[in-house]
C-alpha cells in the first residue's frame, strides 16, 4: 500500500514540475525587422534581455482573424 501511495505522490510531483517549467517559458511578441536567407531578425523590445545566444525558440505566425459582417 505504501509503495502505491509513494509512486502516486512522485508521479504528481514530477507532473507538477514539468508543468511549472512550461509555464515559466519566456514569451516574446514583436515585429519582424529583417529576413536574410535563413536569418530572421525580430524586435522584442525590453523582453529581448531574457534570451541569450544559443537559446532554442519556436516562432508562430499570428493568424489573421476573419470578421464576418451582416
Residue 69 resides in a domain: no
Residue 57 resides in a domain: no
The answer to whether 54 and 65 have CB atoms below 8 angstroms apart is no
Cell 522584442, located at residue: 44
Residue 60 resides in a domain: no
The answer to whether 10 and 1 have CB atoms below 8 angstroms apart is no
pLDDT tens digits, 15-55: 877 766 555 555 677 888 888 988 888 888 877 777 777 87
Residue 20 resides in a domain: yes
**Higher-confidence position of 66 and 5:** 5
Residue 21 resides in a domain: yes
Residue 17 resides in a domain: yes
Neighbours of 42 (CB within 10 A): 14
**Counted domains in the chain:** 1
Could you list the residue range(s) of the whole structural domain that residue 14 is in?
A: 2-50
Residue 70 resides in a domain: no
The answer to whether 41 and 35 have CB atoms below 8 angstroms apart is yes
Amino acid at each position: 500500500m505504501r509503495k502505491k501511495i509513494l509512486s502516486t505522490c512522485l508521479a504528481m510531483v514530477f507532473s507538477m514540475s514539468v508543468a511549472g517549467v512550461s509555464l515559466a517559458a519566456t514569451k516574446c511578441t514583436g515585429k519582424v525587422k529583417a529576413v536574410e536567407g535563413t536569418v530572421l531578425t525580430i524586435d522584442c523590445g525590453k523582453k529581448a534581455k531574457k534570451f541569450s545566444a544559443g537559446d532554442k525558440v519556436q516562432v508562430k505566425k499570428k493568424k489573421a482573424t476573419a470578421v464576418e459582417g451582416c
